Amino acid sequence: MKTITICGATGFIGSNLVRNLSNKYKILAIYNKKKPFKNKNVKWLKADLRNFNDCLKVTANSDIII
């Protein structure tokens, strides 16, 4: 099963992607300030994508990054 990383997963577009793709793929959802919503098929990770090390950490095991 492919792993998809969705950046900005609590925003309007990201949250809809998380809800629609979580049925078929493993989702790593990235958020910064806004608290995540509950979804049992999603692994949430707090990261600041302006930080290079955070970017490396969240993209390390992903097949697709959105």
Q: What is the pTM of this model?
A: 0.86
How far is CA 38 from its chain centroid? 13
**Contact predicate 24/46, CB 8 Å:** no
- Residue pLDDT, tens place only, 20-66: 999 999 999 999 988 888 888 899 999 999 999 999 998 888 999 99
Contact 30, 6 (CB under 8 A): yes
Sheet holding 26-31, edge to edge: 42-46, 26-31, 3-7, 64-65
Amino acid code (one letter) for 19: R
Describe the chain by its helix, strand, coil percentages, rounded to 5: 25, 25, 45
